Amino acid sequence: MSRQLVIAVAFIASLGAAFPQVASAQDLQPTFPGSPANVENFVEEMFFITQSTGSLVLRGACAATDQEDDVVSDMLPHPPVGPFHNIDEALTAVSRVDPHFSWTRDAGGTLRIRDDRASDNVLRIRLQRVQFRGAVQADDAVQHILSAPEVKAYFAENHIEVAAVFNHLAPTSTRGLRRLSGSLQDVTVAEALDSVVRFFPGLWVYAECADGPRRRVSVRIAQVRPAG
């Protein structure tokens, strides 16, 4: 995701934090209806507007954006414009525009969006233990997961590199902020990410691309509201 788009979505998120109610039906549409966007940006904005929680797994193209190695998802030259009655309608509209994408809602109400071209072997890596060390931002918690020895070993063995991910600015003060601490035992990477978005509500995004003989992955969380 380009830095400009991340900043734009972050601005939308700040509006959502100021007005925490879920958007009404007539408001549930992209900020710039019909403007070209990639799948990741479109889905992320719908999650911000509705303050939904879930996951997005996608296959993209390896690209350099803002001098950073990144994974860029499919472009939607004419994305759905809405308005939508709910996020289900918005996600169904995306799957019609780009048939590689489908979505489900699990028994707990969590939304799962998936690209049928993406593999899930990284997400299925089983971790003996994940230690969260007082993370005050979702980005920090993701790094705790990716630092697990099982992940590092798998990446080294399979020639996988981690894409540069835009990090949100650290808060000027952490006083009073909730911290994610504690540990998980015998969980997959996907289960660990689910645990993080239960604390930092939002959307976890796993993206991958092929870069010659190497594979590049990006793992991040887009928060939709403050923790707690």
Residue 21 has pLDDT above 50, yes or no: no
- Distance between CA atoms of 124 and 223, rounded to whole angstroms? 23
19 pLDDT above the threshold of 60: no
Is the confidence at residue 94, as pLDDT, over 90?
A: yes
pLDDT bin (cut points 50, 70, 90) of residue 104 is: very high
Check residue 103 and give its pLDDT: 97
pLDDT tier at 136 (50, 70, 90 boundaries)?
confident
Reported as a single tens digit per residue, the pLDDT across 75-92 is: 999 999 989 999 999 999
pLDDT reported for residue 135: 84
> Among 14-23, 184-193, 219-228, which stretch is predicted with the lowest mean pLDDT?
14-23
Is 41 a member of any domain?
yes
Would residue 163 count as lying in a domain?
yes
Tens-digit pLDDT profile for residues 142-196: 999 999 999 999 999 999 998 865 455 455 545 566 778 888 999 999 999 999 9
Compute the average pLDDT of residues 127-132: 94
- The mean pLDDT of 119-143, rounded to a whole number, is 91
Does 143 map to a domain?
Answer: yes
Going from the C-alpha of 2 to that of each of 17, 44, 66, 67, 122, the distances in angstroms are: 22, 13, 7, 10, 24
Q: Which of 173, 226, 169 is nearest to 199 (CA)?
A: 226
Domain that holds residue 107: 3-223
Q: Percentage of the chain surpassing pLDDT 90?
A: 56
List 114's β-bridge partners, or say none: 57, 102
In a domain, 228, yes or no: no
Confidence of residue 228 (pLDDT cuts 50, 70, 90): low
For 197-210, the pLDDT digits (tens) are: 999 999 999 999 99
**What are the pLDDT digits (tens) for 114-128?**
999 999 999 999 999
- State how many domains the chain has: 1
Least confident of 22-31, 102-111, 148-157, 183-192: 22-31
pLDDT surpasses 60 at 23: no
